[in-house]
Amino acid sequence: NAGVTQTPKFQVLKTGQSMTLQCAQDMNHEYMSWYRQDPGMGLRLIHYSVGAGITDQGEVPNGYNVSRSTTEDFPLRLLSAAPSQTSVYFCASSYSLYRVDEQFFGPGTRLTVL
């Protein structure tokens, strides 16, 4: 198993540009989520999904869109990038919907918005 994969690893955008951060898992996990990590802030939940076709907002959803068309993929879209979105983004997945257990994290994407 490849686990949770994220692409790209690094990205530089200009203000106003759009892009999609990709996340995929091959463990047949129902639960997937996106976090952002900022210095001194820990990780904060952006959006999450409990299955294909079902998404919901987390703590800091503004400026981000998600969709879940398959169990495996959970892309995060930035429609109009802003410098405040400079951060490291982590995707995570978990196999259980009924018991909180280990969330498996991807390697992260470092995004810089100029």
Partner 1 sequence: AQTVTQSQPEMSVQEAETVTLSCTYDTSESDYYLFWYKQPPSRQMILVIRQEAYKQQNATENRFSVNFQKAAKSFSLKISDSQLGDAAMYFCAFNSGGSNYKLTFGKGTLLTVNP
Backbone φ and ψ for 83, nearest 5 degrees, come out as -55, -30
From residue 21, give the alpha-carbon distance in Å to each of 39, 53, 79, 89: 20, 18, 11, 9
Determine, following the binding rule CB under 8 A, whether residue 85 of this chain makes contact with partner 1. Answer: no
Question: Which of 44, 63, 67, 73 touches partner 1 (CB under 8 A)?
Answer: 44
The only residue of 48, 60, 74, 87 in contact with partner 1, by rule CB under 8 A: 48
DSSP tally for the chain: helices H, then strands E: 0, 11
Q: Which residues contribute to the site for partner 1 (CB under 8 A)?
A: 31, 33, 35, 40-45, 48, 50, 58-59, 88, 90, 92, 94, 97, 100-103, 105, 107-108
